[in-house]
Amino acid sequence: MSVKRTKKSSPPPSSRSKSSGTAATSSNRISKGTISAIVVILALSYDNFRLRYRASNAEPANRNLSSNDDEIKLRYKTWEEAPASYEEFDHDNDPSVCRLPIVTVEEWEKNKMWEKDSPVIVKNVTDGWKALQHWSKEELLRRYPDVVVGMGSSKELGQTGPDQAGSALTRTTIYDYVVNWMHSSNKYVFDRNLRLPDGGFLEDCHPYPMPTRMYEEDPDALFESGMPENLIWKDHLALTIGHDTQGLTFHRHNAAWNTVVFGAKRWILYDAERIANITRLKTMTRDIRNPIQLDTANWIRKLYNKDDRKHEIRNYGHDCVQRAGEMMYVPRGWAHMVLNIGDTVAVVSERGLDGVN
């Protein structure tokens, strides 16, 4: 018996064309989907790179975080919650240890104490400052997340000075520093070259302490006074942010004021006239048998009580603790070192103060 084979019919040409078109469309969809995924990955990678390694000449975006955003992930939600070495480094500002006048703003201004050659602590300088609200930790990150700052080790900043640190500084943003670096490294922010949004930090620090306020109130008179260009106020402040036990090692510069907004600072200052003797300066500030310069915390731990340093400082220098809201004024040429006690935020001016002496 023969079996009749039935030939399998082919789909009509119109059907083949439709099937081919469907395959092509599917291929196009896959291709577009792949491209979209690559674009998303590249965008995320670039955003992460931009946030962590902003170039110093980048234009910071004015990115304000709204209250509806996800909660910022912080190890310590406020400045005050972070570890603070009060037990080890605070001496409650005992007058016999500090030996500096602690005066009111009114006394500072009435007596023009910035014209004298002695350090002084001024109380309640931040009264009325918006910074008390705007610089709480979460609010600072919401208002100024993309402000670009330089960070480096306390030791490098103390040895070379923030202006000369150059490549030793890493450029980052305030948000990145506080969230990712502040409590996981020895990085310290001390920046005089801030790229700020309009207003911002400067307005948050009004009223300026005198004599800085004078520059703002009557700038024309200052320019007409014949004061050297490098001494005239340039309408800027330095910002410092650092965790517990950070601070600059012994250094000197022109007259300056330093105002703590949050936290506290331990200061050791040494008389400008006595350090004119270079041998005495080296003996006081370093262990001459070990040329490696210690950071501020270990200097106090290892050297403060040795070789008559404590006696010398207590009689010819000053050892003080500066509280939040207080300003430390340091005259030109005084050697000093500074230690943060707890998370500390402060502003500094080293411009123009010598010009009014």
Q: What is the pLDDT of residues 303-321, one digit of tens each?
A: 999 888 888 888 889 999 9
pLDDT value at 103 more than 90:
yes
pLDDT value at 39 more than 70:
no
The 3-state DSSP class for residue 252 equals: coil
Rg, the chain, Cα only: 30
Q: Which pLDDT does position 231 carry in this prediction?
A: 65
Place of tokens 């500030």: 285
Q: What is the pLDDT of residues 64-82, one digit of tens each?
A: 444 444 567 889 999 999 9
Q: What is the pLDDT of residues 158-215, one digit of tens each?
A: 655 555 555 667 889 999 999 999 998 889 998 776 655 555 677 899 999 988 888 7
Crossing angle of the two packed helices 309-316 and 278-285, in degrees rounded to 10: 120
The DSSP code for 60 is: -
Q: CA dist 310 to 2, 15, 89, 269, 317, Å?
A: 120, 98, 14, 12, 9
Between CA 95 and CA 350 the distance in angstroms is 26
Across residues 129-137, what is the average pLDDT?
96
Q: What is the pLDDT of residues 264-318, one digit of tens each?
A: 999 999 887 887 777 777 788 888 787 777 889 999 999 999 888 888 888 889 9
User: Which helix or strand (DSSP H or E) is residue 26 part of?
Assistant: helix 13-52
Q: Of all residues in the chain, what percent carry a pLDDT higher than 90?
A: 39
Mean of the per-residue pLDDT values for the chain? 77
Pairing between β-strand 148-153 and β-strand 170-173 as defined by DSSP bridges: antiparallel
Between CA 32 and CA 37 the distance in angstroms is 9
Alpha-carbon 259 to chain mean position: 13
Higher pLDDT, residue 262 or 6: 262
The 3-state DSSP class for residue 5 equals: coil
- Cα of first residue to Cα of last residue in the chain, in angstroms, is 126
Higher pLDDT, residue 29 or 180: 180
Higher pLDDT, residue 87 or 220: 87
Between CA 192 and CA 285 the distance in angstroms is 26
